[in-house]
Structure 1
Amino acid sequence: MGLPRVYRLKHRNDFKAVYEQGKRQTTSNLVLIALRDLIQTVPPQPTRFGLSIGQKVSKKAVIRNRLKRLLRGAIRALLADIIPGWRVVVVVRPPAVECKYEHFVQELKTLLTKAGIINGH
């Protein structure tokens, strides 16, 4: 089960804007690039997420897809705490191949707190 459609970052221009203008937060396994949406709507648009996993992480698509599933699950677990109005790209680093789901949730929560997307509770 993937992320609901409203929480997905889909277009190339969105990814490009986040990469160029976003603020970066890093851990040993993940890089989080976050960009605040300039146009505030009422009600605010939900925070949208994109995942980037290159072939440097693993040549095997099976492993890359497993990591994407784990990350989507970790994002879903944290959706209730996430402040709306952000565009976020999560980049996976090669050491993440050995990570378990709980580790992804913990690292993602740390990165989102650092970026100010989750209140630090």
Structure 2
Amino acid sequence: MLSKPNRLRRSRDFSQVYRQGRKAVSAHLIVRVWAFSRRPEDHPGKAAGPCIGIVVSQKVHKRAVVRNRLKRRVRAAVRLLLPQLDPNLWIVINLRPEAVQCEYVEFLRELEQLFTKLEVIHGHS
């Protein structure tokens, strides 16, 4: 599980990322990133670090058990990359239907590639 300060939870926060964020696509994931110079005023209590939301629709798989398993794998991969990410980010990760066959290592590799492509990993800006 991601710590509370690192979770994107409100619908309007997701909408903000969808509207104004940049997007990168891989075989199993779609990553959207919105960067800002400082935290919005309505989030003064947030700790430093990116806020991340993971979306797995029923199009990926009908069974909740499978969707939750996929989310856990992606969260584990994100947790490993979290210290390398720029702290002033909101990130939304959507899983594509092809992600059902994906293992943890593949998610980690694809996330690292997409974050590098979007230039959000420290040292790539």
TM-score (norm 2): 0.88
Structure 1 unaligned regions, length at least 5: none
How far off its partner does 1:46 sit? 1.3
String of CA shifts for 1:14-64, please: whole Å, max 9, x gaps.
Answer: 0000011111000010000000124358xx831110011100000010100
Structure 2 unaligned regions, length at least 5: 41-46
String of CA shifts for 1:74-110, please: whole Å, max 9, x gaps.
Answer: 0001112111100000000000000010000000001
Alignment-derived partner of residue 77 in structure 1: 80
Provide the secondary structure at the position in 2 that maps to 1:109: helix
Provide the secondary structure at the position in 1 that maps to 2:23: strand
Aligned pairs for 1:1-121 (under 5 A) are: 2-39=1-38, 45-118=48-121, 119-120=123-124
- Kindly report the root-mean-square deviation, in angstroms, between the aligned alpha carbons of the 2 structures: 1.5
Aligned residues: 117
Once the two structures are aligned, what percentage of the paired residues are identical?
A: 37
Paired residue type of 1:22: G
Task: List, as ranges, runs of 4+ consecutive aligned residues in structure 1 with deviation greater than 4 Å.
Answer: none
Change (3 A) 1:40 1:63: closer
Provide the secondary structure at the position in 1 that maps to 2:62: coil
The separation in 1 between residues aligned to 2:64 and 2:92, in whole angstroms, is 20
TM-score (norm 1): 0.91
